[in-house]
Amino acid sequence: METAVRELDHPNLSSRDFGRLSRFIYDTCGIKMPDVKKTMLEARLAKRLRNLGIRSFSDYCDYLFSTAGQENELVQMLDMVTTNKTDFFREPDHFDYLTQKVLPEWVQRHPGHKLSVWSAGCSSGEEPYTLAMVLSEFALNSPGFDFQILATDISTRVLEKAKNAIYAEPLVDPVPLSLKKKYLLKSKDRSNPVVRIVPELREKVRFRRLNFMDHDFGMREQLDVIFCRNVIIYFDRPTQEKLLQRFHRQMKPGALIFMGHSETLSGLDVPLTSVFPTVYRKHG
């Protein structure tokens, strides 16, 4: 009995089952899972096995690949294996470039239009709320300027956190003081020092779940600006190229896509032109 309990608490992920899971994760959401990630995958999914009362990874695979598993477990499993790391004002030169160069030119070319922005791979919301702050500040000195932000992620767990818009105070350290005063509400309970994004900013961001492997993203709208930073590094080069071609189709002529500083389009067949470090423009 003791042995059985230990096995349930610490199931072993065999090479065969790791292969089954890694292929499935790649086919489902495009994330590559090399052998070096076997221990990480085992540790993260062990919690799901305990919650479900499943004794082995082999049984878990059988359940996951079943009709019931596809319906009830797929999203839970993807939540456990996706990495969600982000910060407010991460890679701040992108926001400087947006404010000083992109927005003034866009307003001149599109008077009376609403800027449409997509935060693709938004995690727990720090990026889209940073964008909402930056765009709101620009709007103060640009009468008639308006914007909307779509924020998507594959993980329902982080999307729920993003919608709640509540963050521990240390997480908002990168936000300039003037913006903290304007856009963050402090909790009255100082034993639990958290802040919440103000309602008028939350209303500018629309969150929804999206899998990058969906053929057309389930989107009809075309975008003026896409932020997809530190996301494609989790995909292999063929998947990166397919994904960027899909992004290209969602971009209006002249639209921009902002990538992470560790990412490059070099060697990929995508008709985008570099205009600033890791910022690319669609022709037209």
Q: What are phi and psi of 19, to 5 degrees?
A: -60, -45
Quick count: other Cβ atoms within 10 Å of Cβ 8? 15
Please tell me the class of the 2-81 domain: mainly alpha
**pLDDT (tens digit, 9 = 90+) per residue, 17-47?**
999 998 888 888 788 888 888 988 898 898 8
The catalytic position among 17, 48, 79, 153 is 153
pLDDT at 67 over 90: no
What's the confidence (pLDDT) of residue 83? 66
The Cα–Cα gap between 124 and 137 comes to: 22
Average pLDDT across the chain, whole number: 88
pLDDT at 10: 62
At residue 85, does pLDDT exceed 80? no
- 44 belongs to the catalytic site: yes
For residues 254-283, average pLDDT: 91
- Percent of the chain whose predicted confidence (pLDDT) is above 70: 95
125 closest CA partner among 90, 101, 97 = 90
Architecture of the 93-282 domain = 3-Layer(aba) Sandwich (3.40)
Reply yes or no on whether the pLDDT at 213 is more than 90.
Answer: no
pLDDT at 84: 64
CA gap 119, 182 in Å, rounded: 22
> Are the CB atoms for 194 and 225 separated by under 8 Å?
no
Q: Choosing from 44, 90, 157, 196, which is the catalytic residue? A: 44
- What's the confidence (pLDDT) of residue 1? 37
Identify the pLDDT of residue 89: 93
User: Using only C-alpha atoms, what is the Rg of the chain?
Assistant: 21
Contact 27, 65 (CB under 8 A): no
The torsion angles phi and psi of 23, rounded to 5 degrees, stand at -65, -40
pLDDT in tens, 122-171: 989 999 999 999 999 999 989 889 999 999 998 888 899 999 999 999 99
Distance CA 258, CA 157 (A): 25
CB atoms < 10 A from the CB of 102, how many? 21
What is the length of the chain?
284
- Catalytic annotation present for 229: no
Instruction: Give the start-to-end residue ranges of the domains of the chain.
Output: 2-81, 93-282
Q: Would you state the structure tokens that stand for residue 90, as one six-digit string?
A: 């991460």
pLDDT score for 184: 96
Per-residue pLDDT, averaged over 201-215, amounts to 90
The predicted pLDDT at position 3 comes to 40
Mean pLDDT, rounded, for 80-90: 80
